[in-house]
Amino acid sequence: MEFAFTEEQAMIGETVRGFFAENATSERTRKAMAGEGIDRALWASFAGELGLAGIGLPEEHGGAGLGMVELAQVAEAAGAQVAALPLLGHVMLGQALAKGGTEAQKAALLPRLAAGEVIATAAWEAKITAEGNRVSGEAAFLPHGALADLLLVRAEGKAWIVDLKAEGVGVTGHVTMDQTRPFATARLDGVAAEPLADGAAGWHAALAAGWICLAAEALGGAQAALDRTVAYSKERVQFGRQIGSFQAYKHRLADMMFEIEQAPSAVYWAACAVDEGSDEATISLHSAKSFSADTFFMCAGNMIQLHGGIGFTWEHDAHLFFKRARSIQTLLGDGQWHRERIAAMVLDAGLGVAA
């Protein structure tokens, strides 16, 4: 598969990088961390001024009608600034509705999602049972769950939309390592819920969007970690020389660059494969999530080490990247889980068994 950005996609990439660089500043991110974990003003501009909340949603329901490649560009730019936005749950619910929702659900919810009027979350790990159109149980590790309006959850082979403000819902927020994406646990006691018309298609689309979002965020974060460390290596002087001139330091930077060079191929292979409905979509998604997340974690760790003492302090942004990287590693399946899926697919294909 050959891939290159179209002129329109290149313009989108340039626009979103400029938007996040200007608006998702360290000061604003830290203010959001000290509060509820969302930069509300940034989210309003993201959705209202630029219309980016509807980037992957159909035009007939208020979206931009674009695909996963453009979504990946947005997520990559957001990840480069460690932006405090509820993007993950938003794209997962949006794609679930677009691919599996009823016409009534699409008409009611997609325009509100595209406008950024509601905050969504999704459950990867949930112990939920359904009786009729009511669900009960517990959904843990919900990104921005304490602030979310809607929850996407899977139960009894179906995908459900739950109003987290409804009667019978109890939500507990948690103090988490990545304060830009705080988790929560929702307990549901016979809560009225709406099943998607095609739960399988909706859930698959949600996972694909979630994995692409996280992989692209990781790519942006890894590149930013390298860029900031290179800039520091030219400013910091020891023994009369820039520290970037020392061989051991250069080797660490080269290791970071080597890993990052491969990550864009993985991320945009997955995004392009999903957009084109390719047979490679599933394996590319697992590859993108596992490789990009691990690359970001390695680069964020090196960022701290190569900044020396200042890199360990609260005042420096290195810890923001490290915490986000660690969070991405575990969200929606860790690297080992994804690589096991890849191995199973490759081995099954080699044995002539349908993947």
Residue range 267-304, pLDDT digits in tens: 999 999 999 999 999 999 999 999 999 999 999 998 99
Domain membership of residue 263 (yes or no) is yes
| Full domain range(s) for residue 328 | 201-350
CATH of residue 285: 1.20.140.10
> Could you give the CA distance from residue 114 to residue 179 in angstroms, rounded to a whole number?
25
Beta strands in the chain (DSSP E): 120-122, 125-131, 134-143, 150-155, 158-163, 169-173, 183-195, 237-238, 241-242
60 part of a folded domain: no
**Residue 254 token pair:** 């080269």
Nearest by Cα to 74 from 5, 12, 152, 11: 12
Q: How many domains does the chain have?
A: 1
Q: Whole-angstrom Cα distance, residue 241 to residue 243?
A: 6
Q: How confident is the model at residue 237 (pLDDT cuts 50, 70, 90)?
A: low
Give tens-digit pLDDT for 33-59.
999 999 999 999 999 888 999 999 999
Query: Per residue in 167-207, pLDDT tens?
Result: 999 999 998 989 999 999 999 999 999 999 999 999 999 99
Residue 242 within any structural domain of the chain: yes
Tell whether 210 is covered by a domain: yes
CB distance 9 to 69 below 8 Å: yes
CB atoms under 10 Å from CB of 138, counted, come to 14
Q: Answer yes or no: is 224 within a domain.
A: yes
Report the distance separating Cα 330 and Cα 325, nearest Å. 9
Within a domain: residue 346? yes
Residue 317 in any domain: the answer is yes
Residue 238 lies in a domain: yes
